[in-house]
Amino acid sequence: MKWLTNLFAKQKEEPTDPMKKFLIAGLGNIGAEYVNTRHNIGFKVLDRLVQQEGLSYETAKFGAVAEYKIKGRTLILLKPNTYMNLSGKAVKYWMEKENIPAENVLVVTDDLNIPFGTIRIKAKGSDGGHNGLKSIQQLLNSSDYPRFRFGISDEFKKGKQVDYVLGEWDDKEKLALPERLDKSVEAIKSFALAGLADTMSAFNGK
């Protein structure tokens, strides 16, 4: 279904309540060499949701986009094609295009300061040195937007942080990843259906 090409026509016919529309932005880098890297967990989480629900991405401005409808809510799933350092361009564009308020945005990203696979969702916060979050904060001129941080741990030797983040999962992580991705998908659905506060209570630290 080519929903993207008919989007504006649909909106004129059936106005959408902006509070029932959400932007879920999974951060990562495009290119085959980055597919299975820790830094691309945002892409991985969205891919899991798309796969489970039988959806497909459309190539659109600043990224690959899929639309997921659940119980009266519409989730715009975005994988920016801007590379990590310019993620803000894609997030800002789709927020404005779809008239989505900041509180209905959820940015999915990796975090070195959290144990592997652990979920931590927050309503706002600093960029924590993450270039994707830094770009979003700069373009939105605000750090007040929900973010979903997926722990990748910090099991790297001194001076090897970049190699670790851009490296692939080890064998133990690969075995545990599917269940962690499923849990992440549950958290995204909860964000849209139950709200931020209940989702934080149910999933943080899990």
Which residues are part of the catalytic machinery?
Answer: 39
- Asked whether residue 40 is marked as a ligand-binding residue, the answer is no
- Asked whether residue 34 is marked as a ligand-binding residue, the answer is yes
- Asked whether residue 204 is marked as a ligand-binding residue, the answer is no
Q: Which residues of 123-149 are buried (b: 16+ CB within 10 A; e: fewer)?
A: eeeebeebbbbbbbbebbeeeebbbbb
- Asked whether residue 57 is marked as a ligand-binding residue, the answer is no
Residues of the binding site: 34, 83, 85, 131
Residues making up the annotated binding site for tRNA are: 34, 83, 85, 131
